[in-house]
Each structure stands twice: as C-alpha cells, then as structure tokens.
Amino acid sequence: MRLNLVLPVLIAAALALLGSVYVVAEGHTAIVLNLGRVTRTDIAPGLHFKWPLIERALVFDRRLQVIPADPERYLTSERKDVSIDFFAVGMIQDVRAFYRATGGDEEVATKTLAPIITDSLRNEINSRTLSQVVSGNRSEVIGEQLDAINKGAANIGVRIVDLRIKQVDLPTDSTVIKDVYRRMSAQRQQVASRLRAEGEEQAQAIKAKADRDRAVILAEAERDAQKLRGEGDAEATRIYGAAANKDPGFYAFQRSLDAYRATFSDGKAVIVLDRNDPFLQYMRSDK
C-alpha cells in the first residue's frame, strides 16, 4: 500500500525536475517567461533551472544567420530598370526586443527586415547611374546604407553585419537591354570603322611603297639594260670593224647579203634600179 503512494510521488517529482531544467547551447541565448511575461533575458549557455508549469524558457540562436530576400527592381539615376538579387547576414542582438517584436518567429523577422533593406538600397541605387551600379564597387553601395539599415533593424533586436549583392540583372521586359545592345552595337561599329580606316591607311601606305619600289627597280633595270645594250653595240661595232679590216671584200659581200635579205624578205618587193647600180654588183654574173 505504501509503495502505491510513493510511486506517484516519485513520478511527479521526476516530471517536476525535468520541467524545471533547460539547456542553452553554445552560440545561443534564452529568455524565461513567467505566465507570459518576460522575467529573465540574455541567459548564457549552460544548464539552467526554472519554475515548472509557471515558467517557460525560449532558446534563440545568436549566431550569424543568412537572411534571404527576393530580387527587387530599382531605378537608377537615369531612370533605368535594374533587378538586384541580394542577401543579408545578421544576428539577434537584443533578444528581449526580438521576442516582443516578432514573438520569436524568425519568418516574421525576415518579413519585417525585407522592406527596411530594400528601401535603403533603393535610396542608394536611385543616386547612381547604371554603369556605376553594374561595374562600380558594390561594397561602397552596401557600406553607405548599412548604418541606416541597422537603425531600423534595432527595433526588432537584430543587427545586420553585412549585406551582399549577388547579381545585378537587366529586366527582360524593359528597354534597358535594347538600349544597352544598341549602345554596344554602336561602340562595336565605331571600333570596326576605326580598324577599317587604319587598315585602309596601312594598305595605301604599303601600296604606295610597293609602287615606289617598283618604279625604282624598273628604272634601275632600264638603266642597266641601256648600259648593257650600249656595251653590246660597242662590242659588236668593234667586232664588225675588226672583221672588215681583215677582209674588206668579204665584209662588203656580207653587208650586201644582209641588205638583199632585208629588202626581199617578204618576197613581194619591187626595186627599179639601173643595171649598173652598185647595189646589184653581187647579183651579176661576169662572163
């Protein structure tokens, strides 16, 4: 009979002990609620006790967390559309304020932070040109707005330690892409025109040099040919003269044959001469 009384007491004591103990892991913190009212906050890691039934412990992760966000569209200072995909890195700084603002729900915190971050980014993007947003220093864009973002995030007990732009896109349904393609095409056309002009200039220079070299080579060749022809004619004259001096009669006969050959080469020439003309002296037969 006594055992039946002791056993329920032991079970109740064990349940009460289990309900009064809670553990806070490293990198976490906790708050204790007494009948729904916050009584203790910023509880350090370790083993802790609370009153069972009337107190409840809520444990929160105070480590850095990635806060995702949907891509947002912004307007640059030139009124150009850009789509920016980004994420934030933050942590719970004031656990009491975090619980009061969100009820401990991280999804609520994310939804509350999203407009704070997007509005701050919008102010920065609106003051920059498209070129500065796409090719500029993204750390500058983030750094100048981080303080403003943390002022709003402090209301829910969160501190944003970093904000990163993952990607900057041009919306496909805007005129920005067409403008960019048109500008790129114009730049490529300008480069192509410059290259063609430079190529044409180089071609003209090469052609002019080739023509000049050709004229010089032809002139030198003609000069050398004239010199060789003169030397050949002089040598031929010398040879003819030497041959004539050795046998004047044969030389006269050879010259007459050359004259006959040149005169009657086509077979149609008609010459009217006196029969005693010297031109015909080698064509007469003496009897």
**Residue 153's CATH number:** 3.30.479.30
pLDDT 10s digit of each residue in the chain, 287 long? 455 555 565 555 555 555 678 888 998 989 998 888 888 888 889 888 888 878 888 899 889 888 888 888 888 887 777 888 888 899 999 999 999 999 888 889 888 898 888 888 888 888 887 777 777 666 766 767 888 888 889 999 999 998 888 888 776 655 655 666 777 788 888 888 888 988 889 999 999 999 999 999 998 898 888 888 888 888 887 877 777 677 666 666 777 767 767 776 676 667 665 666 666 666 655 54
Same domain? 24 vs 103: no
**Whether residues 75 and 169 fall in one domain:** yes
The residue whose two tokens read 């993952």 is 166
Residue 197 lies in a domain: no
Is residue 261 assigned to a domain? Answer: yes
Tell me the C-alpha distance between 82 and 71, whole Å: 10
What pTM does this model have? Answer: 0.53
**Residue 155 in domain:** yes
In a domain, residue 74? The reply is: yes
In a domain, 32, yes or no: yes
State whether 97 and 165 are in the same domain: yes
Of 61, 93, 108, the residue at which a domain comes to its end is 61
Q: How many domains in the chain? A: 3
**In terms of residue numbers, what domain contains 152?**
65-174
Asked if 98 and 35 sit in the same domain, the reply is no
